[in-house]
Amino acid sequence: MSDLQALQDQAVAAYESATTLDELDAAQQRFAGKRGELTAVQRTLGQLPEDRRREVGAAVNAVRARLTEVESQRRAELEAERDRVVLAAEAIDVTLPPRVPRRGTLHPVQETMEAMLDILVGLGYTVNEGPEVETDWFNFDALNTPPDHPARGLQDTIYVHPFDARDEPEPDRTTGLLLRSQTSPMQLRTMLSQQPPLYVAIPGRVFRADTMDATHLPMFHQIEGLAIDTDLSFADLKGSLVVAARALLGPDVELRFRPHFFPFTEPSAELDARFEGRWMELLGAGMVHPNVLTAGGLDPEQYRGFAWGMGVDRMAMLRHGINDLRLLVENDLRFLSSL
Amino acid sequence: MRVPLSWLRDFVDVDLSAEDLADLITVRITEVDAVVRPTAGIRDVVVARVESVARIEGSDKLSHVVATDGTDTLDVVCGASNFAAGDRVAWAKPGSVLPGGLEIGRRTMFGVTSNGMLASARELGVGDDHSGIWVLESDAPLGADVNEWLGLDDAVLVLEVTPDRGYALSLHGLARDLAAITGATLRVPDLGDATASAAPAYPGEDPVPVTISDPDRCRRFDARVIRDVSVGPSPAWLQRRLAAAGMRPVSNLVDATNAAMLETGNPIHAYDLRLLAGPVIDVRTARPGERLRTLDGVDRELVADDLVICDADGPVALAGVMGGEATEINDATRDVFLEVANFVPWTVLRTARRHGLPTEGSKRWERGVPPESAPVAAARCVELLQATAGGQLEGGADHYPTPPERPVIRLRHSRANDHLGLALTAEAQAALLQSIGCSVTAEDGASRVDPPAYRPDLVDEVDLYEEIVRLHGYERVPQRVPSSGQVGGRAPDHAARIAVRRALAGGGWTEVMPFPFIADADLEALQLPADDRRRRTIALVNPLSKEEAVLRTTLLPGLLRVVRHNVNRQVTDAAVFEIGHLFLQPTSDEPGAPAGPGEDVALPAEPLSLGFAACGAFDHPRHDRPARPVDVYDVLGAVELVRHAVGADALTVEATDEAPLHPGRGARLSLEGEAIGTVGELHPRVAETFGVPARTVVGEIRLEPLVRHGIRFRPAITPSPLPGARFDVAVIVEASVPAGAVEQAVRDAAGARVTSCRLFDVFSGAQIGEGNVSLAYALQLDDSARQLTDADVAEAIERIAGTVAERFGGRLRR
C-alpha cells in the first residue's frame, strides 16, 4: 500500500511539474496509460487473494481518481497557457481600415422626393406620374393661364419643335409642345382619367428657360398635391399642408400662410416656414379654380378641391446643408459620394 | 415696388413700425421682400452755401471751395464742377458720418486742406447719381441737418407684387387696402378737378387733336398741355422720395410724371410740345418699316403688333413702354404735352417683351390699370408739375370712347363659407367687401357685388371668396385634415423602381442626374446607324445651350459627360447610373401621352431607361489588395442586381457587335424573348470621341419590362432534409463555344436534381489541345425522397459527357 502511495506522490509531482501539454501527456502515459505503472499494479490484482484483491483494488481506484483529477486540472492550466501564447501571437491591428464593400449613393433630390412622397402616401394620397413633354393646353390653357401670360414666352418656357422639324416657327415661335414648366398639367390628366374623390401626389421634373445660378436651375423637381371631393374647403387645405409640413420639418416648425396669386387657384396662398429666424417660402397652394375643374371635366358646382406644388431641390438643399443648387446637377462624384 | 414709408404715411397713417407694417402687408396683401434703409447711418451732414469756387493749380479736376454752414466757413476740396458760388449743397464736415459708417475727416490735397467733403446724391444713399455733388434748392435752410431736413431715416418697404394686385403698385392703392384692413383713415391728396372726372373742366380749347385709331388697345387718352414751365432739378425732398422708390430723379418735369405714377398707379408720359409735329396725336399700331429711336438711344424696328403714339410725322412713343428720343423732355423744354392714357395689358406686355423693355410703366400696364385712374393721375401730375416747374395748364381733353362694362358678381354667402371653411354671416362678408370699395346689395338669398374700378381683377365669384378670406385673415381660417377614404401608395412600377435604385446603390453604383439634352452629333459619335430609331431626335426651339439642342433618345451621352467631368477632376474611378425618360417619336406600339381636348399634336413616347457608365477601378485598392479595374461583368452584375431586386425572370445574354460597343465585348440582354438593351465595353473610338478613359464600360436597358409587374415575390425553395451529393466535372470544348451555353447544357444533362451549378475554373493550355478550353463546374444534386449514391453521381457525369459531346463536340476532362 505504501508503494501505491509513493506511486501517487510520484505521479502527482510529475503532473504538476509538467510545463507543456506534451510533458503532461508523457507523464500521464507513464503512470496512468495503458502500459503505465498504475495499470501495471492493477494487472497484478488477479494474482492477489480475494480479500487483498478488494482492498488493493479500492486503493488503486482511489489513486486513479486522484491522478485523473490532478491531470485534468493541470491540463486546463497548460491549455490556458498555450492559448494565451498562441492567440497572442495571432493578434491583428483592428484599427486598420475596414473592408467595406464598394458603396454607391442615391441622388439627394430623388431621395428627398421619395421622403416627401412617403408623407403624402401616409395622408392617403396615391402617386401619379406624367410626361415631361407637354402640350400648351395641359401646361397653360387648362390651368387658366391667359393667352398673353409672360410664363408662356420663350424667355420662361422651353418649347419643343414638332417631330423632325428644325425651323423656327412663326410668329412667336411657340409650337404647342413644350417641356412642362410645372407638375400642374398632371392635375388635368388626373381629372380627365379618374373620377373623384381624388387624392393624388404628382412628383416630377420640370423645366424653365432660366440661367443657372446658385439659387436657380433650368431643371428642377416639384411635387404637386391635388385633392378633389365634394366638401373640401380652404380649411382642409390648411390642415393638410400643416400636418405635411410638420412631418417634413419637425413638429415645432413655425408656419404662416399668406395671400399669393396663381391663375389656377382661387384663393391662392403661399406657405412659409421659419428657418433660423427667417421666413422661407415652402410651397404655393390654393383652391382649384372653377375654370380648371371645368377643363378637367368636373362640375365646379359639385366638386371642390385644393392643390399645391412644392420644390424638391430646395428641400434637398435644406436637408443636406447644400448652399449652391448647381451641385445637384453637376454630378460631381465627390459631392454625391459625400451624402 | 419700393415704398418709402414717409410717402405711404402721406396717404394712410397706420400706427405700426416699418417691420410690423411689412409683416401685415405680407399676410394681408402681398409679400414684402425686405425693409431697407438706404440712408441709414448718416450723421452730422449739414446744408451749406458755396461761397467761392476756384480751380486748384496743378490738378485737372479738383476745385478749391469755400463753404459756410452759417457757423463755420472753411476750405473744402471738391472733384465735381456742377455747381457755382451761391448754391446750397450737402456738406459732410469733419466728424460727420456717411451711410455705411464711413467717417469723414480732413485731408490735404495739392496744398489745400479739405475740411470734409461735399456729397453727391449717391454718397448720401439717395439714388445712384454720382455725376456731381447734390445741389439742393436755394431755400434749403443753412446749417440744417440734412438728415432731419430730408427725412433720410426713412424706411423703404420692398414689395413683391403679384400679377393680380396691380393696385399695390401705387401708394394710393396700397394705402386704400391698409385703411380697409386696419381701419386707419385714408388721406388722398387734393386732386383738384379729378373729382369731377366724368366731365373735367379744362381752361381753353384742346390745343392738340387726339385720335384713338385702335380703341381695342387704347381705351382712354387724357391729354393736357402746360405752357411756360421752368425746367430744372426737382426739390430735394422729391428727389429723395423718387430715389428711395427706385426711380432716378431726372428733372422736375419728368419727376412729376413719375411721382404721379407712383402715387396713382397710372403711367404718364410727357413730351416736349414744340417737338411734336402738328401738333397732332394718333394712337395706332405701327406700320411696316416704321422705326423709333427710344429714350434709351436704341433705334427700334417696329412691327404691326406694336401700339405706338404718333405725331404728324410718325411714331413718337412705344405706347405704355417707352417714349421716343426725338420728342423727350429736355433742358430747353417750355411747353409740355402730357399723355395720361389707358392701354390694355396684352398690347403693352407683348411690345415690352418683344423689345426686351420691361419698364416701371410696362410693369403696371401688364397688371392692368383701370381707365378710371387716368384723370386722377393727370390731375395729380399737373399739380406736382406746376408746384415744381410753374407754368399754366392751357387745355386738354379726356378721350374715352367706350368705357368698358364692369362685371356685377353674384355672391352666395353660404357657398363662400363652404369654400373657405368659415362661418361668417352675410353681413360680415359684405362688410369686408365694402371695406375695399365694393358695393354690396342683397338679392334673393345672395348678394349682388359691384367691385370698385381699381379692382379689375375681381371678375368671378371665387375672386370675392379670396378677398373675403384675405381681409378676414388666412391665419383665422381653422385647420382640418380630410380623410382621403383610401390607402395611399405608389404604383407598382414606381415601388419597383425604388427597389432597383436601392439595389444598385448597395452594389456600388452612384445615382446621377444629367440634363436630358444632347446633340445630334452625340449620336453620330456613338456610331449609331442612320436608320436607328434613336437618331430621330426631337429638337428644342429655345435650348439652354446651342450645343445640346435636342431631347435625349439615349442616356449614354449624358452619362459619358458625367464620367468625363469627373475624370477631368481627378475622380478617375466612377460607376454611375441614371434612371430617366427618353424622348422618342411615338409609334403604335409605343405611343405618347394623349394631347388635350381639341389639340392636334402628338406627344413623344417617354420610356424610362436605366443607364450605366463606369471606368477606372471598381474595387478600390486596400493595403492588402490591389485595385480591380471595372469590366463588362460588373455592368452585367449590376443588371443582375436589378433583375433580382424586382424578382424578374432570368435574362438571356448573347454577344453583340452593335454600336457603340467594342465588337468583341458587347452583350445584348433579353427578358422573356424581349430585347431590353445592351451592355459592354465602349468602342475605343467612341471612348476617344467622348473624351472618356479607354475601357470605359456602359449599359442601357429599358426599365419598363423589368418593373412593369412591380416587385414579384419569388416562391421559396424547401431545402432537402438529406445531404445530397456534391461533385465536380470539367468539360473541354472549343473556345468559341459560349460558356453560357455550356453551363446550360451541363445543368440540363445533370437533370432535375441540380440545385446548384457553379463555374469554378476556366483553363486553356496545350495539354487540352490548341483552341480548346476547359470549364470546370461544381454541382450539387439534391433529392428529398432518397439518399443519393455514387451511382447517381456517375450517371449524371455520363449524361453530361454525352450532352457536351452531342451539342458541342466536347468531352469530359477526366
pLDDT tens digits along B373-404: 999 999 999 999 999 999 998 878 889 988 88
**Beta bridge partners of residue B222, listed in sequence order:** B340, B398
- Whole-angstrom Cα distance, residue B347 to residue A148? 9
Residues of A in contact with B486 (CB under 8 A): 124, 126, 197, 199
Q: What radius of gyration do chain B's Cα atoms show?
A: 41
- pLDDT of B204 strictly over 70: no
Tens of pLDDT along B274-329? 999 989 999 999 998 999 999 999 999 999 999 999 999 999 999 999 999 999 99
pLDDT of residue B190: 60
Q: Answer for the pair A273, A279: CB distance below 8 angstroms, yes or no.
A: yes
In tens, the pLDDT along B72-105 reads 888 999 888 888 888 999 999 998 888 878 888 8
- Categorize the per-residue pLDDT at A168 as very low, low, confident or very high, splitting at 50, 70 and 90: low
The DSSP code sequence of A218-284 is SEEEEEEEEEEESS--HHHHHHHHHHHHHHHH-TT--EEEEEEEETTEEEEEEEEEEETTEEEEEEE
Residue B749 is predicted with a pLDDT of 95
- Sole residue written with cell 396700397: B174
Mark yes or no for CB contact B511/A107 under 8 Å: yes
In this prediction, residue B644 has a pLDDT band, given cuts at 50, 70 and 90, of very high
**Helical packing angle, A234-249 and B413-420, nearest 10°:** 10
Q: How far apart are CA B182 and CA B204, in angstroms?
A: 44
Helix (H, G, I), strand (E, B) or coil at B146: helix
Bigger pLDDT: A62 vs B779: B779
Of A206-220, B117-131, B651-665, least confident by mean pLDDT is B117-131
Residues pairing with B625 in the sheet: B622
Query: Helices marked H in B202-326 — which ranges?
Result: 236-244, 252-264
* B344 in Cβ contact with B307 (< 8 Å): no
Mean pLDDT for A234-257 is: 96
Helices (H), B80-201: 146-150, 171-182
Q: Do A240 and B485 touch (CB under 8 A)?
A: no
CA nearest to B45, candidates B107, B116, B108: B116
Contact at CB, A179 and B502, closer than 8 angstroms = no
Q: What are B332-362's pLDDT values in tens digits?
A: 999 999 999 999 998 998 899 889 888 889 8
* SS3 state of residue B523: helix
Q: The complex's ipTM? A: 0.87
Q: What residues of chain B, 359 to 378, have a C-beta less than 8 Å from chain A? A: 366
B605: contact with A, CB 8 A cutoff: no
pLDDT for B191 = 53
B83 CB-near residues (< 8 Å, 6+ apart): B50, B53, B89, B118, B132, B133, B135
Segment A188-205, tens digit of pLDDT: 999 999 999 999 999 999
- Compute the distance between CA of residue A253 and CA of residue A271 in angstroms, rounded to an integer: 12
Cβ-contact B468, A72 below 8 angstroms: no
Contact A102, B620 (CB under 8 A): yes
Q: Which of B26, B480, B542 sits opposite A236 (nearest CB)?
A: B480
- Chain A residues touching B539 at Cβ < 8 A: 160-161, 165-166
**Hey, of B510, B536, B576, which one would you mutate to test binding to chain A, going by the most A CBs within 10 A of its CB?**
B510
Residue B196 — very low, low, confident or very high, per pLDDT cuts 50/70/90? very low
CB B617 within 8 A of CB B630: yes
Chain A CB contacts of B620 under 8 Å are 102
The pairing of beta strand B510-511 with beta strand B574-581: parallel
Contact criterion met (CB < 8 Å) for B162 and A329 = no
Chain B, nearest residue to A327 by Cα: B513
Q: How confident is the model at residue A310 (pLDDT cuts 50, 70, 90)?
A: very high
Interacting residues of B259 by C-beta distance below 8 A, sequence separation 6+: B238, B241, B242, B381, B384
- Closest residue, chain A, to B29 (C-alpha): A259
Q: Is B250 left (phi over 0), alpha (psi -120 to 50) or beta?
A: alpha
Residue B512 contacts residue B576 (beta carbons within 8 Å): yes
d(CA B96, CA B37): 18
Q: B609-629: per-residue pLDDT in tens?
A: 999 999 999 998 999 999 999
* Weakest-pLDDT range from A270-279, B31-40, B129-138: B129-138
What pLDDT was estimated at residue A58? 87
Question: What is the arithmetic mean of pLDDT over A16-30?
Answer: 91
By Cβ distance, the residue of B508, B540, B618 closest to A161 is: B540
| Mean predicted confidence (pLDDT) in A48-58 | 84
Lowest mean pLDDT among A294-303, B106-115, B248-257, B749-758: B106-115
pLDDT score recorded for residue B427: 95
Q: Of residues B700 and B201, which shows the higher confidence score? A: B700
For residue B517 the three cell numbers come to 439634352
Residues B350 and A152: their CA atoms lie apart, in Å, by: 11
Pick the range with the lowest mean pLDDT from A35-49, A317-331, B182-196.
B182-196
* Identity of the highest mean pLDDT range in B129-133, B360-364, B601-605, B650-654: B601-605
Q: Tell me, what DSSP letter sits at residue A154?
A: T
The span from the CA of A54 to the CA of A61, in Å, is 11
What's the pLDDT score for residue B200? 46
Indicate whether B202 pLDDT > 80.
no
What would you measure as the largest C-alpha separation in chain B, in angstroms?
127
Answer whether B478 sits within 8 Å of A103, measured CB to CB: no
Please list, in sequence order, all residues whose beta carbon lies within 8 angstroms of the beta carbon of residue A242, skipping any fewer than 6 positions away: A255, B479
**Cβ–Cβ below 8 Å for B601 and A135:** yes
Average pLDDT of span A127-146: 95
- Measured CA to CA, the distance from residue A151 to residue A147 in angstroms comes to 10
The stretch B679-687 carries a mean pLDDT of 97
**Under a CB-based contact definition with an 8 Å cutoff, are residues B796 and B731 in contact?**
no
Which of B163, B485, B536 is opposite residue A261, by nearest beta carbon? B163
The dihedrals phi and psi of B586, each to the nearest 5 degrees, come to -70, 155
Judge whether B312 and B277 are in contact, CB under 8 Å.
yes
The amino acid present at A22, given as its one-letter code, is D
The mean of the pLDDT values for chain A is 92
* pLDDT, tens digit (0-9, with 9 covering 90-100), for B525-581: 999 999 999 999 999 999 999 999 999 999 999 999 999 999 999 999 999 999 999
Q: CA-to-CA distance for B730 and B813, rounded, in angstroms?
A: 5
pLDDT band at B194 (very low <50, low <70, confident <90, very high): very low
Element (H, E) at B364: helix B360-367
Residues of chain B numbered 545-564 and touching chain A (CB < 8 Å): 551, 562
**Residue B216 touches chain A, beta carbons under 8 Å:** no
Report the pLDDT value the prediction gives residue B12, as an integer from 0 to 100.
93
Smallest Cβ distance to A150: which of B349, B501, B544?
B349
Q: What is the structure's pLDDT at B353?
A: 85
Report the percentage of chain A scoring pLDDT > 70: 97
Check A269 against B480: CB less than 8 A apart.
no
Q: What is the separation of C-alpha B250 from the centre of its chain, rounded to a whole number of angstroms?
A: 33
Query: Could you give phi then psi for residue B754, rounded to 5 degrees?
Result: -65, 125
What pLDDT does residue B205 have? 61
pTM, 2 dp: 0.86
Query: Quick check: A62 pLDDT over 80?
Result: yes
The answer to whether B438 and B450 are in contact (CB under 8 A) is yes
Average pLDDT of span B28-34: 94
**pLDDT recorded at residue B395:** 79
> What is the pLDDT at residue A173?
67
Taking an 8 Å cut-off on Cβ atoms, the answer to whether B606 and A133 are in contact is: yes
B139: which residues sit within 8 A by CB, 6+ positions away?
Answer: none
pLDDT averaged over every residue in chain B: 92
Chain B residues lying within 8 Å of A239, measured CB to CB = 478-482
Which residues of chain B have a CB within 8 Å of the CB of A99? 622
pLDDT of residue B198: 38
Q: What angle do CA B453, B455, B460 make, to 5 degrees?
A: 110
More confident residue, A224 or B132: A224
Q: For a pLDDT cut of 90, what percent of chain A falls above it?
A: 69
Strand residue runs (E) in B461-607: 510-511, 517-518, 550-551, 574-581
pLDDT at A48: 83
Q: What is the 3-state secondary structure (H, E, C) of A270-295?
A: EEEEEECCEEEEEEEEEEECHHHHHH
